[in-house]
Chain A
């Protein structure tokens, strides 16, 4: 499967030059093109273009993408959400931007992807292990994001304005680009501002506190975001190069009543304004510089990438004493500063007719430093390198096989950290307590994969088997402190081994004239899943959570059907189901945290005047009783969503309009995979979004 991904990725890179049209999302053109797309990967993958993202414009990129079966958004308030694929998220999926693994502080619960969703041309979701191409982290899937559209005109562009009713957000996004013979440029600018968001509830209960909400607003969840990116490129006959600099910045408040240990003592009047951002808040910066070169000759391609990324996140909150910690001198609770240097080299060679060999090597260096008076993750450096080979052989037009292997070495050096204040030890002597020791670990990993794609008649059948790995991150090895966001004490384990995953994937597709059917079942086994297990002991009143490893079994499927009933009427249906079980360790018999319940989407779409559409859909989720401490069972729910859009041609410009209304009936429901579910915050009430875009 991974081999197929690799080949597909390479094919995508190769086809960039002619990639001037965007794909249309689930409502795809029927027939051969669908089959071809299905054939290029033997692992379940879904590709969507920016039209899909605009039509499903939904606050955050991940909320937009959660319309894809098997993809979940773990929301944290209105401005933030984390991606999850088949229930796995954080460091278990790789987010890859233009071929480079996007580095954020992935482990953090409370910030979203540091990506401008309006700069995206195409997204490819790979549902299954992708370590062969991307090394550690791709164990649960890959979210491939492409922003490398090649302009065709000397000057062209698009300006979007958008607004949302629930959190009173307003935004402006512009894309300007041009091409002059061999040279081109591209500029993205986006700015958004949003207020506290509303939920259909009057009060919530959190950690035994009763928190009344004024007018149903979650106080201090307002935020703003500003993004900019500039690309300069050269396109020759056999050589291409592009150089990109991008910056995303955001500042957002934390829900004031669910952060910190002594929030209740705050004198801040959070209800004074819905738009202001009071303490506690965070700011997140992501700066990236990326150079990509591509060379191709007959039967041969070579790609080279160099990238540098810098993440800088700050959490600020009112200084309060806690336990033996005296009142800190300022509000700088935590600073995370990480930079990542990545180099990649990849080549594809046609060995014979129908046989293609791909090989690649990559190297990465990460450097992380912390600051502030709160400790959760130690300083660390990581050096990693990997090499892979993939062979793909096409026996017939309708039958191809692939196989690949990869080797990785990772070195992690975690630095010790001691408190800045003293705590009495057993004898009562005040000591600067050590929270993290010096940890030096080397990890070796070997991964492999094999797959087959077969397309007799209207069928496309795919099967894959492979393994993937993930190296423990510094937090899992060396965390030792209070997680103020969730009132618990988290403790790392320095001896963790690399997490492994074995997965069998299948894809069964039937592509007819008016109807396509798709079923993607999978079966997955982790011999040593790294799991943060809630224990039965306390540390100063905070329940102790420890990182342990356990055998985990996961299985499930996604199903999809698209039926073109009439030329102007289309029915789309999608469903997903996942079963996860810990098979050993302290939580033997339990599921994994945030295990999504079964979910189904059904939408009826009416098309008029070529590109106009109105779509009414329902999303249904089942009850989730498969839980693990400290989760609560979540009742099933359904909501209605409406979307409509139409383009108008005005001389040389196109005006695009799009309206989306989510939760039309303003129903109160809890999403089991939402981070705020744990603190009893329901999903947002009715929310209308309007987007106007001018293309020229």
Chain B
């Protein structure tokens, strides 16, 4: 009984060792520049009524999943750990709370089987959007369920 169990146990352990070499996606997708057309860039300036052309690229070593764009106000000047530092040319006036704080949140699919995908989506800034600094959050998943985030600062000016 004892020796048998030990043998079975060792055999199963060997089986494990052999199947643990199986390939799996262990890396998150990346949010990368789409070259010269890349937009919005960090610290970009827009105005109410403008169109923000969202042109960025995603890449993954196996397969991309889907992405999301979320825009929220940064009137409290919180910071993100990617490049969303305070942009020097943005001055935070007291009067910038006028108008309606703009909230944008959309999910987008990526066709299956892609390891690289370039976006080209027009996003309209509402005519009544409050002026001030906003964060432009980009989220992307890969097919395995890993996620990558990137946070950009944009300014809605006069």
* In the complex, chain A residues 444-474 whose Cβ is within 8 Å of any chain B Cβ: 452, 454, 461, 463
User: Is A581's CB within 8 Å of the partner chain B?
Assistant: yes
Chain B 7-33 per-residue mask, 1 if CB under 8 angstroms from chain A, else 0? 011001100100110111010000000
Secondary structure dominating the interface of A: strand
Tally inter-chain residue pairs, CB-CB below 8 A: 100
Contact A208:B80 (CB < 8 A) given known A506-B9, A536-B142, A555-B13: yes
Taking the complex as formed, is A236 at the interface, i.e. its CB lies under 8 A from any CB of chain B?
A: no
Q: How many residues of A contact B (CB 8 A)?
A: 39
Measured CB to CB, the nearest residue on chain B to A536 is B65
Q: Which of B8, B20, B82, B143 interacts with A536 by CB under 8 Å?
A: B143
Of B43-51, B90-98, B145-153, which binds chain A? Answer: B145-153
On whether the beta carbons of A264 and B2 are closer than 8 Å, the reply is no
Query: Using an 8 Å CB-CB cutoff, how does the interface string of A571-588 with B read, 1 for contact, 0 for none?
Result: 000000001010100111
Bitwise, A184-218 to B at CB < 8 A (1) or not (0) is 00000000000000000000010111100000000
Bound-complex Cα distance A421 to B139 (A) = 26
Contact status of A555 and B147, CB under 8 A, knowing A504-B5, A537-B141: no
- The answer to whether B144 and A323 touch across the interface, beta carbons within 8 angstroms, is no
Structural contact, B105 and A555, CB atoms closer than 8 A:
no
Q: A205-B81, A590-B24, A629-B147 are in contact. Are A541 and B68 (CB under 8 A)?
A: yes
B66 at the interface (CB under 8 A from A): yes
The answer to whether A543 touches B9, judged by C-beta atoms less than 8 angstroms apart, is no
B79 and A538 contact, CB distance less than 8 A: no
User: CA separation between A454 and B2, bound complex, in Å?
Assistant: 10
CB B20 to nearest CB in A, in angstroms, measures 7
Shortest C-beta distance, B9 to chain A (Å), equals 6
**Is the pair A589, B79 in contact by a Cβ cutoff of 8 Å?**
no
Q: Is A650 an interface residue (CB 8 A)?
A: no
Instruction: Check A533–B105 contact: CB distance below 8 A.
Output: no
Are B151's CB and A452's CB within 8 A?
Answer: no
Q: How far is the CA of A523 from the CA of B20 in the complex (A)?
A: 16
A265 interfacial contact with B, CB 8 Å: yes
Given contacts A536-B143, A589-B24, A630-B146, contact A523 B2 (CB under 8 A): no
B147 touches A210 (CB 8 A): no
Whether the pair B82, A630 counts as a contact (CB closer than 8 A) is: no
Is A539 an interface position by the 8 A CB rule?
A: yes
- Asked whether B137 is an interface residue with its Cβ less than 8 Å from the other chain, the reply is yes
How far, in Å, is A54 (CB) from chain B's closest CB? 37
Q: B2, B20, B149: which contacts A461 (Cβ < 8 A)?
A: B2
Give residues of chain A (485-533) contacting chain B, Cβ–Cβ below 8 Å: 504, 506, 521, 523, 533
In the assembled complex, which residues on chain A have CB atoms less than 8 Å from the CB atom of B151? 208
Asked if residues B81 and A210 are in contact (CB atoms below 8 Å), the reply is yes
Contact of B2 among A208, A463, A536 (CB under 8 A): A463
- In the bound complex, do residue B22 and residue A589 qualify as a contact, i.e. CB atoms below 8 Å apart? yes
- The interface bits of chain B over 60-102 (1 if a CB of A lies within 8 angstroms of the residue's CB, else 0) are 0000111110100000101111100000000000000000000
Interface string of B125-158 (1 = CB under 8 A from A): 0000000000001010111111101110000000
Report how far A452 CA is from B78 CA in the complex, Å. Answer: 62
Q: Is A209's CB under 8 angstroms from B80's CB?
A: yes
Residues on B with beta carbons closer than 8 Å to the beta carbon of A581: 16, 19-20
B114 CB to closest chain A CB, in angstroms? 12
User: B8, A504: Cβ atoms under 8 Å?
Assistant: yes
Q: In the complex, what distance in Å separates the CA atom of A344 from the CA atom of B138?
A: 55
Q: Measured between C-beta atoms, what is the minimum distance from A321 to chain B in Å?
A: 9
Question: At the interface, yes or no: A534 with Cβ under 8 Å from chain B?
Answer: yes
* Bound-complex Cα distance A553 to B12 (A): 10
Inter-subunit contact A630/B145 (CB<8 Å): yes
Residues from chain A with Cβ under 8 Å of B67 in the complex: 538
Least CB distance, A436 to chain B, in whole angstroms: 22
Nearest Cβ on chain A to B88's Cβ, whole angstroms: 18
Q: Whole-angstrom distance between the alpha carbons of A504 and B9 in the complex? A: 9
Instruction: State whether B9 touches A538 (Cβ < 8 A).
Output: no
Task: Give the distance to chain A from B123, nearest Cβ to Cβ, in Å.
Answer: 14
**CB atoms of B16 and A553 under 8 A apart:** yes
A to B CB contacts below 8 Å, 20 in the list:
A207-B149, A209-B80, A265-B76, A452-B1, A463-B1, A504-B8, A523-B9, A534-B145, A535-B141, A536-B65, A536-B143, A536-B144, A536-B145, A537-B65, A537-B109, A537-B141, A538-B67, A541-B70, A589-B22, A590-B24
Which A residues contact B (CB, under 8 angstroms)? 205, 207-210, 264-265, 323, 452, 454, 461, 463, 504, 506, 521, 523, 533-541, 543, 553, 555, 579, 581, 583, 586-590, 627, 629-630
Q: Apart from A504-B9, A506-B9, what are 17 other A-B pairs with CB-CB below 8 Å? A: A205-B81, A207-B149, A208-B81, A209-B78, A209-B80, A210-B81, A323-B105, A461-B2, A535-B65, A536-B64, A536-B141, A537-B65, A538-B68, A540-B107, A581-B16, A586-B145, A629-B147
